[in-house]
Amino acid sequence: MRAATLVVRSYRNLADAELELPNEGLALVGPNGHGKTNLLEALAYPVLFRSFRGAADREVGRFGGPGFHVALTRSDGVTVAATFNAATRQKRIAVDGEEYRTISAALGRWLAVAFLPADLSLVRGGAGERRRWLDRTLSLADSEYLAALLRYRTALAQRNAALRHGDARAAAAFDAPLAGPGAILVERRMAWADWADRAWCDELAAVGETATVALRYRGDEALRDAAAWPGKLAAAAARDLARGHSHVGPHRHDLALSLDGHALRDYGSTGQQRSAAVALRLLEWDTLARARGVNPALLVDDVFAELDPRRQASLAARLAAQPGQRIITAPRADELPPGLDLPRWTMAAGRAVPAVAAAA
């Protein structure tokens, strides 16, 4: 899956433009603050129709502007577009001109995986960071998982609202609506983790890690069976009511990442943790490629400077061999490792142009 063109209007500090992107991707070089990350953010926006930085839509549009517009046309001619109106705070999503009433209905029409320096939080952060990453990955890979996740979140919110009001009977009414989709989530996550353990180890080895690593799903495995939920929820009912939220379910689970048998977040070096985060993104790419039968684009934002030379060289070799479109940024050309044979573009004052054109 490749981006042929990207149209941006009033998007952060980017100049309004229609960019024709090379099929193999590009290496984008320019000073910090001139828009490199913003361009990657615009390319990633049509994946989930939100900023990969977690910014609200009103913060993504240019200051004082009417909102923003992003339209990405794939190499097969399909166009995925999003338009945000700052005055009404409404967002319109369209695929080939046909508007979608819900964002979930348009998910997966464009697939890209973004590597960011902030990805270190996937390893160092709390369980919520990894759950959100896993839910996002599996939702893009599996429409049934996405449907179950949406049902589960709705039931959980309603159950928790009843608990906060101290209404045990109303809360119990949402036990069954919680159990059905919750069991699907646990089952799909565990099945994925069984495969992902070996795949993550291989990806870490490919980016230069030599220690023994492991990825495990951490949660109540009995919850993969909907029949186990009534007893589990009943056992936690008093605590749920006392604390005003639900303690049973995949919203409490985690991915355990270990290094030589110890928690990676506590015992890994910074270089090992960064490599682990990169490997998680490569695992995300592998998951989507396997499930969807296409190669997502790779968006790599200035990650080489955060790695030591050995890990830089290993990651460069891994990315050089990666199929599909790759768009990689760096502040200076000398920060791009050798071996990445991609067209060179430059970024200055919000404008991205091929290096030859920039020189002219």
Q: CA torsion, points 253, 118, 199, 321, in degrees to nearest 10?
A: 160
Q: Work out whether strand 3-9 and strand 67-74 pair parallel, antiparallel, or are unpaired.
A: antiparallel
pLDDT of residue 307: 80
| Cβ-contact 72, 43 below 8 angstroms | yes
Residues 6+ apart with CB under 8 A from 269: none
- pTM of structure: 0.92
Tokens read off for 161: 């609202």
How many whole angstroms separate alpha carbon 142 and alpha carbon 135? 10
What is the rounded end-to-end Cα distance, in angstroms, of the chain? 32
| Cβ-contact 325, 3 below 8 angstroms | yes
How many whole angstroms separate alpha carbon 303 and alpha carbon 307? 7
DSSP 94: E
Catalogue all structural domains in the chain, each as residue range(s) with its CATH number: 1-111+294-360 (3.40.50.300), 123-293 (1.20.1050.90)
pLDDT of residue 318: 86
Strands annotated E in 57-184: 67-74, 79-85, 90-95, 98-100, 112-115
Residues 6+ apart with CB under 8 A from 262: none
pLDDT tens per residue across all 360 residues of the chain: 899 999 999 999 999 999 999 999 999 999 988 999 999 999 999 999 999 998 999 999 988 889 999 999 999 999 999 999 999 999 999 999 999 989 998 999 999 999 998 999 999 999 999 999 999 999 999 999 999 999 999 999 999 999 999 999 999 999 999 999 999 999 999 999 999 999 999 999 988 888 899 999 999 999 999 999 999 999 999 999 999 999 999 999 999 999 999 999 999 998 899 999 999 999 999 999 999 999 999 999 988 877 888 888 888 888 888 889 999 999 988 888 777 788 999 999 999 999 875 544
How many whole angstroms separate alpha carbon 173 and alpha carbon 196? 36
Other CB atoms closer than 10 Å to residue 96's CB: what's the count?
Answer: 11
How many whole angstroms separate alpha carbon 296 and alpha carbon 289? 7
pLDDT of residue 357: 55
Q: Which long-range contacts (CB under 8 A, 24 or more apart) does 337-342 make?
A: 337/304, 337/312, 337/313, 339/313, 340/27, 340/316, 342/22, 342/24, 342/25, 342/26, 342/27
pLDDT of residue 317: 85
| Cβ-contact 352, 19 below 8 angstroms | yes
Using CA atoms, how far residue 268 sits from 57, 84, 256, 277, 283, in Å, is: 36, 42, 13, 12, 19
Residues 6+ apart with CB under 8 A from 264: 123, 213, 257, 258, 272, 273, 276
pLDDT of residue 334: 83
Other CB atoms closer than 10 Å to residue 157's CB: what's the count?
Answer: 12
| Closest-CA residue to 345 (of 127, 87, 39) | 39
Amino acid letter, 229: W
